[in-house]
A and B are shown apart, each in its own frame.
Chain A
Amino acid sequence: MRCDGYDVVVIGAGLVGGAIACGLARAGQRVAVLDEEDAAYRASRGNFGLVWVQGKGVGRPEYARWSRASSERWFDLSEALVEDCGLAPCYARPGGVVPALSDDELSDLDSMLAGLGQAAGNAGYEYEILDRSRIRELLPACGPEVAGGTWTPYDGQANPLKLMRGLHASLVARGADYLSGARADGIQPLPGGGFTVRTARGAISGNKVVIAAGHGSKALGAMVGLDVPVHPEHGQILVTERVAPLLDHPTLNIRQTDEGSLLLGASQEDRGFDTSVLARTSRDIAHRAVRVFPCVAALRVVRTWGALRVMTPDGFPIYDQSKAHPGAFVFTCHSGVTLAANHALEASRWVIEGRIPEEMACFSTDRFDVSQAA
């Protein structure tokens, strides 16, 4: 072996890198995980915490299947983290609701789920169209404007901060080296195989390298011949004071945490690398939340923040291995919570085997190559 370093160097210790590293360490690999400083862009600390399947994968059935598989595997991930470090990420899967504020919205949701059901074929796709009275059985807090909604049993939620903490504690417990303040500035492929990663804490070598660096993946990928077209999409979240259990099911934009806070989300704005909070965005989020659940109007908002989703041109993940430099992988997606179980328990194996399975080829960067598409 040329490299006297690690089996795998994982660049990025967010939810994607953390999950991959956790899976590798659990499989007995010698792993280094490189993290940035606290001030880095961290989608993993700004996310909403849903483990969500409903509506995902329109036009890409592989993504629908992949998301759903992760929501199943989440129970195993949860168990693994508790086994490794005693930290439960508070996963629950009571099924999720998308409320509709008009009959038009409801019929759009209906046809979207019907399409996903058709695309799922023999695997089936269980969902329910909720009329005005049925949605109130599931969520009595719904206001008079709610015309109905949709439900699937596959949706759930977790505590993303506990997940992050759990992944880090688990990978350390399994012998991985977690290096903070080790921003990766360069990747050097070595002549006989393997890679040296230049970091703020010195050079670190490994037989393989996994780029899971969020927005940093673009520049790092280019160093090993991978074109990674990710861009930031701004999302803003409002957090209310803690209240007694109010919502038994998470909804796409409003959920109640295990500790009682309500999270109100999910704006989507192009603001470059600006993470600031805009009052008009908060207003729009709060306005929609109050139309769905009028009692939210009585609650105090105690925190709000903006964060940057790591988006691809088509919104689907990127899983790829460099053709020019085999052993260099890139993993990125904007659903780091939902897909955490897949990344830890499944995708980490691809790195060990040195090969991404054929059925995952649709997530390679080839799909963005215009000359190939033609």
Chain B
Amino acid sequence: MFRRLPDPAAIVTFDFEGATFDACEGDSVAAALLANGVLAFRTTPVSGTPRGPWCLIGECHECLVEIDGEPNRQACMIEVRADMRVRRQHGARMVAGWREE
């Protein structure tokens, strides 16, 4: 769906749900996933429908993914790094409540 402009940037590799993807240095995580054909980044907490990036400028929160174990990250606002581990964000983030021992 998306094709890259000719770009001399160096290649970095990262992990997406167990697969190894190539990206160009300086890509946002969102751009890197789109370039690899991933369109659905998350499912919504409200209806469970699949969603992908819409605004790509940090406003819409449609591109949420889990990065290196941290949920609800905005893929369009974070630069991809070598060996980053990215997963889809499924529904709402779980938060541990406080438990007194």
Contacts and interface: CB of A to CB of B under 8 A. Distances in A.
Interface of A: 136, 140-144, 241-246, 259-260, 293-295, 298-300, 302
Contact of B98 (A244, A245, A295): A295
B45 A242 contact: yes
27 contacts: A140-B98, A141-B95, A141-B97, A141-B98, A143-B98, A144-B98, A144-B100, A241-B72, A242-B45, A242-B72, A242-B92, A243-B92, A243-B93, A243-B95, A244-B45, A244-B91, A244-B92, A244-B93, A244-B94, A245-B92, A259-B45, A260-B45, A260-B46, A293-B97, A295-B95, A295-B98, A298-B95
Instruction: Summarize A's interface: helix, strand, loop or mixed.
Output: loop
A358 B46 CA distance: 46
B1 interface: no
Given A243-B93, A244-B94, A136 B45 contact: no
Residue of B98, B99, B100 with most partner-chain A CB within 10 A: B98
Instruction: Summarize B's interface: helix, strand, loop or mixed.
Output: loop
A189 B72 CA distance: 57
A136 B99 CA distance: 9
B53 to A, nearest CB: 16
A361 B1 CA distance: 67
A9 to B, nearest CB: 38
Nearest to A246: B95
A40 B49 CA distance: 35
Contacts of B72: 241-242, 300
B: contact size bracket? 10 to 19
Contacts of B97: 140-141, 246, 293, 295
Nearest to A258: B46
B99 A140 contact: yes
Nearest to A302: B61
Contacts of B61: 241, 302
Contacts of A295: 95-98
Nearest to A136: B100
A293 to B, nearest CB: 7
Nearest to B73: A300
B46 A259 contact: yes
A260 B72 CA distance: 13
A259 B97 CA distance: 18
Contacts of A294: 98
B66 to A, nearest CB: 12
Contacts of B100: 136, 144
Given A241-B72, A244-B45, A293 B98 contact: yes
B68 to A, nearest CB: 15
Interface pairs A-B: 4 shortest CB-CB: A141-B97, A244-B92, A140-B97, A260-B45
Given A142-B98, A243-B95, A295-B96, 7 more contacts: A144-B98, A242-B93, A244-B94, A245-B92, A260-B45, A260-B46, A293-B98
A295 B98 CA distance: 7
A30 B93 CA distance: 48
A142 B98 CA distance: 6
A295 B93 CA distance: 12
B92 A299 contact: no
Contacts of B94: 243-244
Contacts of A245: 92
Nearest to B92: A244
Given A241-B72, A259-B45, A260-B45, A299 B99 contact: no
Residue of B45, B72, B95, B99 with most partner-chain A CB within 10 A: B95
Contacts of A300: 72
A245 B95 CA distance: 9
Contact of A299 (B45, B95, B98): B95
Contacts of B98: 140-144, 293-295
